[in-house]
């Protein structure tokens, strides 16, 4: 689930290795039972209550999903910068509590217009560095069992290497050339987080001239088969600790989808906590 190369409340710190809560309610808690994860399956409805769909609005048409994102407070969504590049606020609609894009859960879904898009000031088009952005919506979301904020990692958190993470989205179930199609029901898959040096070696072994920078992280399997893909960009990569989900990565880039030794690339969220906290205080 990834873009093929071709998160206002107060700031609340807990001890190191815990999380950052930017909302006025407990963060990272799913009140719905989690299902199994095998090669990417349907998420349980309400399993990731911070998950949002970003929809592109065209004249005379309903919004069409193009990227994911995650609620971090009542008015702010964290996503990828490449998702909102060259898009204006009136062109985007944010859908919360959505599970099936075909509208099967429309009574739960709420739509918000966008007030403001804030891309990281250092983001450069089609580059991996600083691929992160914030979206401000035009009204407070109402917290419920199906609408909750995600926790952010502590800025001093470690590399997360060796941990099993979950990525969720409505992206393609395979590369288009392999017959892949976009999922209508929210999908999830488990992928291990790699040390950057190991990820760099894999890419080097596959003769891919891509530098894995410190503000990025990799997640995937050496043999491939599990990944994010096109349409999942901007969505959350999450770890679960002490019963809470922490948003450690944002789906950013990659070469193809689920290819061996070419793991997905994610923006490393803990590198951007200061920028996020400064931005949401506007």
Token pair in block for residue 120: 């990281």
Catalytic residue among 65, 233, 245, 252: 233
Catalytic residue among 53, 65, 73, 82: 82
**116-144: b (≥16 Cβ within 10 Å) or e:** ebbbbeebeeeebbbbbbbbbbeeebebe
* Residue 3 contacts residue 253 (beta carbons within 8 Å): yes
In the chain the first and final C-alpha atoms are separated, in Å, by 32
Token pair in block for residue 115: 């007030």
Q: Is 245 a catalytic residue?
A: no
* Residue 92 contacts residue 56 (beta carbons within 8 Å): yes
The answer for 103, left when phi > 0, alpha when psi is -120 to 50, beta otherwise, is: left
The backbone torsions φ and ψ at residue 202, rounded to the nearest 5 degrees and listed phi first, read -60, -45
* Residue 114 contacts residue 207 (beta carbons within 8 Å): no
Q: How far apart are CA 139 and CA 196, in angstroms?
A: 39
Token pair in block for residue 220: 């995937």
Catalytic residue among 130, 131, 227, 232: 131
Catalytic residue positions, numbered: 82, 131, 233
């Amino acid at each position: 689930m990834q873009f093929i190369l071709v998160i206002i409340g107060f700031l609340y710190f807990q001890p190191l290795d815990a999380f950052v809560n930017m909302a006025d309610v407990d963060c990272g808690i799913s009140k719905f039972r989690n299902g199994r994860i095998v090669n990417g399956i349907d998420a349980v409805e309400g399993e990731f209550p911070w998950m949002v769909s970003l929809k592109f609005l065209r004249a005379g048409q309903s919004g069409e999903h193009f990227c994911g994102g995650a609620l971090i407070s009542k008015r702010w969504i964290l996503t990828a910068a490449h998702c909102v590049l060259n898009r204006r606020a009136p062109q985007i609609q944010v859908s919360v509590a959505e599970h099936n894009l075909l509208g099967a859960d429309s009574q739960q879904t709420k739509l918000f217009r966008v007030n403001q898009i804030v891309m990281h000031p250092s983001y450069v088009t089609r580059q991996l560095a600083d691929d992160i952005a914030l979206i401000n919506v035009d009204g407070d979301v109402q917290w419920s069992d199906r609408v909750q904020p995600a926790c952010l990692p502590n800025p001093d958190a470690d590399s997360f290497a060796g941990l099993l993470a979950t990525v969720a989205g409505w992206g393609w179930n395979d590369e288009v050339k392999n017959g892949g199609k976009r999922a209508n029901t929210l999908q999830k898959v488990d992928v291990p987080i790699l040390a950057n040096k190991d990820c760099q070696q894999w890419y080097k072994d596959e003769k891919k001239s891509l530098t894995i920078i410190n503000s990025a992280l990799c997640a995937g399997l050496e043999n491939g088969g599990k990944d994010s893909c096109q349409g999942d960009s901007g969505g959350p990569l999450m770890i679960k600790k002490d019963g809470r989900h922490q948003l450690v990565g944002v789906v950013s880039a990659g070469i193809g989808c689920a290819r061996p030794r070419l793991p997905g690339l994610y923006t490393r969220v803990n590198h951007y906590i200061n920028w996020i906290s400064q931005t949401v205080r506007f």
